[in-house]
């Protein structure tokens, strides 16, 4: 059987490690890595040197619906069946965006920027890519969320935009999981928390994290793929951590 995986956010961080781990498994005949800069990402250059032609690269922007629509058409033209789509694209900080420590730091602009990537992106990905996952065989659509997006687990406060955008992502993931399972009973849609992982996203905030609590991207990728391998149709619409434990919404 030809198995095809698509990792959105596959140019760096956890997504790149997922691409590398999947390519090491010959069961995956095609692995597509997508991101804004996938076609020029140094980490993917290194993998391409070893794994061409199984590795495909695709530039897309999850905050731009036309870009997602065009990307889905390109993927479908190469291979109309996907067995795994993991969306790792996420935004916590950048040049103009810092997680808020207090209410006074909240701005409409930053709330909306975070929503565009962390919440709107995932549901538009589902909208444009789900036909490739609805083929009658087992398939998984996984959105990387974050434990801080759990409302029930929120004890520290702060990080308004990121928390709220991940909570919105969780609700959208749960909502689409119900609709997609009606149309494609073997399609499993979940939200996943990768743990705290040493990447560009966590770097400014991981200084106080104990060494054994700060995962390498390779370890997080291995754990997430183990969780995905263990999912059944009963898992549809749920939120799991890297160790397989369910997280409250
Ligand atoms: N690291 C952690 O400790 C941690 C903890 C909990 C949850 N998470 C979640 O896990 C996911 C992956 O995190 P990470 O640490 O691997 O992040 P990262 O190192 O910053 O990587 C983010 C990836 O997303 C891509 N990306 C960002 N914006 C995009 C856009 N608009 N369109 C398309 N691709 C975009 C980036 O590539 P380009 O720049 O080339 O577009 C990159 O490949 C995120 O959703 C994050 O919220 C991470």
pLDDT per residue as tens digits for the range 192-243: 999 999 999 999 999 888 888 999 999 999 999 999 999 999 999 999 999 9
- Residue 13 CB–ligand 1 contact under 6 Å: yes
User: For residue 210, what pLDDT is reported?
Assistant: 85
pLDDT of residue 128: 98
Instruction: Assess if residue 83 is contained within a domain.
Output: yes
Predicted local confidence at residue 99, as pLDDT: 97
Q: Is 37 in the pocket of ligand 1 (CB under 6 A)?
A: yes
Number of domains in the chain: 1
Tell me whether residue 219 is in a domain. yes
Q: Give yes or no for residue 213 CB within 6 A of ligand 1.
A: no
Asked whether the beta carbons of 69 and 128 are under 8 A apart, the reply is yes
pLDDT at 211: 82
The chain-wide mean pLDDT, for the chain, equals 96
Instruction: Specify if 132 maps to a domain.
Output: yes
Q: Is the CB of 170 under 6 A from ligand 1?
A: no
Domain-embedded: residue 246: no
E strands present in the chain: 3-8, 28-35, 55-59, 84-87, 139-144, 187-193, 196-197, 214-215, 239-241
Beta bridge partners of 3: 28
87 belongs to a structural domain: yes
Low-confidence residues in the chain, pLDDT < 50: none
The pLDDT value given to residue 1: 74
User: Nearest 5°: phi and psi at 155?
Assistant: -115, -20
Whole-number pLDDT of residue 187: 98
**Hey, which of 16, 41, 44, 89 would you mutate to test ligand 1's pocket, going by the most ligand atoms within 8 Å of its Cβ?**
89
Residue 1 Cα to ligand 1 midpoint, Å, equals: 30
- Tell me what pLDDT residue 245 has: 98
Summarised one tens digit per residue, pLDDT across range 26-40 is 999 999 999 999 999
Q: Is the CB of 20 under 6 A from ligand 1?
A: no
pLDDT value of residue 243 = 98
Q: Is residue 249 in some structural domain?
A: no
CATH number of the domain encompassing residue 155 = 3.40.50.720
Domain presence at residue 247: no
Residue 62 contacts residue 117 (beta carbons within 8 Å): yes
Range of the domain at 96: 3-241
Task: Determine whether the shortest distance from the Cβ of 176 to ligand 1 is under 6 A.
Answer: no
- Domain annotation covers residue 120: yes
Residue 140: strand pairing partners? 84, 188
Q: What is the pTM of this model?
A: 0.98
């Amino acid at each position: 059987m030809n198995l095809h995986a698509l990792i959105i956010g596959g140019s760096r961080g956890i997504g790149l490690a997922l691409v590398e781990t999947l390519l090491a498994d010959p069961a995956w005949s095609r692995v597509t890595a997508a991101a804004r800069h996938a076609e020029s990402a140094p980490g993917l250059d290194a993998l391409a040197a070893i794994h061409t032609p199984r590795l495909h690269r695709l530039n897309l922007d999850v905050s731009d619906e036309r870009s997602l629509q065009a990307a889905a058409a390109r993927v479908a033209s190469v291979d109309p069946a996907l067995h795994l789509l993991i969306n790792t694209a996420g935004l916590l900080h950048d040049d103009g965006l810092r997680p808020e420590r207090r209410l006074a730091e909240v701005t409409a602009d930053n709330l909306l920027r975070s929503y565009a990537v962390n919440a709107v992106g995932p549901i538009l990905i589902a909208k444009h890519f789900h036909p490739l996952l609805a083929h009658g065989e087992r398939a998984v659509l996984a959105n990387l969320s974050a434990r801080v997006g759990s409302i029930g687990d929120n004890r520290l406060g702060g990080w308004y935009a990121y928390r709220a955008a991940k909570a919105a992502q969780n609700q959208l993931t749960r909502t689409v999981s119900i609709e997609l399972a009606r149309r494609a009973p073997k399609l499993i849609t979940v939200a996943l928390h990768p743990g705290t992982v040493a990447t560009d996203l966590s770097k400014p905030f991981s200084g106080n994290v104990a060494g054994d609590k700060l995962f390498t991207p390779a370890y997080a990728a291995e754990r997430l793929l183990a969780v995905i391998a263990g999912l059944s149709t009963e898992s549809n619409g749920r939120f799991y951590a890297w160790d397989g434990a369910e997280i409250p919404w």
